[in-house]
Structure 1
Amino acid sequence: MRYGLILLLFHLLCTCVRAQDTPREVLLRLFDGMRSGDSTGMAALFHPRASLNSLGEDGGLQQGSIESWLTALNQTAPGTLDEQLHYTEIRTDGGLATAWTPYTFVLNGEVHHCGTNAFQLMQTTRGTWQLLNIADTRRTTGCTLPDTTSVEQELRDLADGWHAAAARADATTYFGMLSDSAVYIGTDPAEHWTKAEFEAFARPYFAAGEAWDFTARERHVFYDPYATTAYWDELLDTWMGPCRGTGIAERNAAGEWKIVHYTLSVAVPNERMEGYRALIGKE
């Protein structure tokens, strides 16, 4: 009997440690506990000196109590509180981690407010992670529920939408999908443009309603574990013949994907390389 109890306690201890192996797992436990209305064991997620702060729409700072928050949470019916994350970005250096999580807070099934959580976590001497500080912003306007579209599909939609905007000569949408610091590299060796330079070059074509029509027949998409930076390569059907394109995109502060770099090159088949070299005077 005693042996069985020891095994059970050992199992529970190992489960608790495993559940705090990474900063992401700590956050998952935090939000799962909120949704379930059960704060049992959640105190272990927090460092004894952890702080809780909230920045309101008026710029005022409100300081909260972790203990009071956990007590109130335990008195809340399951399903009452649901903090839905748009995405999670985590950065770590040694025993310090910072997480950035834009969220929408749902109360009793209705959108209540939204904002961004900024978490700081530290790794203990036992190797587990604990929350050191939570700060958030809160607003009641412009709140939307997280998009359930997969990250890969978001990026495919971004690339397809960008090319489609050019095909219909929609300059506002096309250049709006580029970040302000974007770089576009065209097929000509001289075409290394900033966004402003590229827009100046392309403006006459868009104004005449005769911008280019590129269609992807093949695309490969890649993104980092936190879905904040992505790139893709694609094989395009164009008026020039087959081309290769490579795009890089980043999420901005609003969580939107913006294209920060794009390179376009003409795809010359190997068996036609000699003719191409002759064409450009490289025989």
Structure 2
Amino acid sequence: MKKIALIIITLFALQLKAQEADIKKTIAIFFEGLHTGDTLKIKSVCSDKMILQSIMENAKGAKFDHEDISEFYKSIASIPKDMKIEERLLDHKIQIDGSMAHAWTPYEFYVNGKLSHSGVNSFQLYKDNGVWKIVYIIDTRRKAS
């Protein structure tokens, strides 16, 4: 009986690790698209109804902002080719419950190799026919000093 319980626990842990890897891959594809200005790549891992919000923090306080998804795609597509943007994820903390997942990813954002700002992304995902899709992103943004 102990062997069966151990096998079940091991299989569950392996399945959870595989799902976490799939979620990390979804987020990686999102950022590959962001870094290259490839909105089709970004759209491939996002829900059509994705919500984007940000909290900009500074010495005066915090400002909450909502970005329309179509405006987000337009802004990504309009990044000049000579401008290099890179968001470096520092960690992934992932929680999963069935077809819903949450990923917490602290980051640093660079423009042409210079640190612009940092903060945390909070991704909400759902599993759509076996594929993880991003449905909600909220992030904090603090200017580099």
Checking the alignment, whether the CA contact within 8 Å between 1:83 and 1:106 is kept in structure 2 is yes
Map of 1:25-36 to 2, 5 A cutoff? Answer: 25-36=25-36
Verify the 8 A CA contact 1:53 1:64 in the aligned structure 2: yes
Q: Give the TM-score normalised by structure 2.
A: 0.76
The answer to whether 1:81 aligns with 2:96 is no
How many angstroms apart in 2 are the aligned matches of 1:41 and 1:141?
29
Once the two structures are TM-superposed, the CA of residue 39 in structure 1 deviates from its matched residue by 1.6
* Residues 36 and 78, structure 1, Cα contact 8 Å, conserved in 2: no
Counterparts of 2:41 and 2:84 in 1: how far apart (Å)?
20
Q: Note the C-alpha offset of 1:79.
A: 5.9
TM-score by length of 1: 0.40
1:6-155 mapped onto 2 (5 Å cutoff): 22-57=22-57, 58-76=61-79, 77=81, 80-124=84-128, 126-141=129-144
Number of aligned residue pairs: 121
Contact 2:51 2:135 in 1 (8 A): yes
Q: Deviations over 1:50-101 (max 9, x none)?
A: 1000011122210012221122212222762100111111111100010010
State how far apart, in whole Å, the 1-side matches of 2:142 and 2:25 are. Answer: 27
Q: Which has the higher strand share?
A: 2
Secondary structure of the 1:40 match is helix
Provide closer, same or farther for how the CA distance between residues 94 and 29 of structure 1 changes in structure 2, counting only shifts above 3 A: same
Matches within 5 A, 1:216-227: none
Looking at CA atoms only, which structure, 1 or 2, has the larger radius of gyration? 1
- How far apart, CA to CA, are the structure 2 residues paired with 1:56 and 1:84? 18
Q: Larger RCO: Structure 1 or Structure 2 (Cα < 8 Å, ≥ 6 residues apart)? A: 2
Deviation per CA, 1:130-189: give whole Å up to 9, x if none.
Answer: 1110000011146xxxxxxxxxxxxxxxxxxxxxxxxxxxxxxxxxxxxxxxxxxxxxxx
Structure 2: state its 5+ residue gaps: 1-20
Equivalences for 1:237-252 in 2 at 5 Å?
none
Per-residue deviation, 1:22: 2.0
**Structure 1 stretches of at least 4 aligned residues deviating more than 6 Å after TM superposition:** none
Runs of at least 5 residues in structure 1 that lack an aligned partner in the other structure: 1-20, 143-283
What is the aligned-residue RMSD (CA, Å)? 1.7
Deviation at 1:42, TM superposition (A): 2.2
